[in-house]
Amino acid sequence: MIFLHSFNHSKLMWMYQLQAFAVRGFRVVAPDFRGHGETSFTPGRMSIEDFTEDVIGLIQELGLRNGVIVGSSLGGYVAMGIWRKAREMIKALILAGTKAHPESEEEKERRAKQIEFLKIKGVREFAEVQAPKRLSRHTVDNRPWVVDLVKIMSSSMEVQAVIDTLRALMGEERR
């Protein structure tokens, strides 16, 4: 099982799922996308295509076959990219909080505002504002440790990595 995280998060978002599936005998893999978690990145070199190629390369390097790919949000975009490019590697897809169509103009405008916010306020303030918005009211009210985890994952990224990922989600190709 290959778990692909959402925007501005890392493999840490899957820590409970990884343990639950591993103890049941599944081989589990949860990479960080470039610029997220423990990975480095080159500013201006981020696209959904780049993330997709990175994961395909990892699958090949690990010799995985017939994997179940679990993608959340950004991870779903990447999972669908893998399906388009290398579906023979995939046994099943599990997609959550994602979509198969390009960003609408409203979504692009919202992401452009997020980029401006990041440039002015920085990644820590962005994480403070965004974390509660990305979780259910029940989680915010009853699971403060989840809110803290989301803030930690989000604020640990370099501001340029967050901006470049937002641009990738908007479909902007920067080379």
pLDDT in tens, the chain (175 residues): 999 999 999 999 999 999 999 999 999 999 999 999 999 999 988 999 999 999 999 999 999 989 999 999 999 999 999 999 999 999 999 999 998 888 899 999 999 999 999 999 999 999 999 988 888 899 999 999 999 999 999 999 999 999 999 999 998 755 4
Does the global pTM surpass 0.75? yes
The CATH class that applies to domain 2-169 reads: alpha beta
pLDDT score recorded for residue 100: 85
With beta carbons less than 8 A apart as the criterion, state whether 37 and 10 touch.
yes
Give the count of alpha carbons within 13 A of 8, CB side only.
Answer: 27
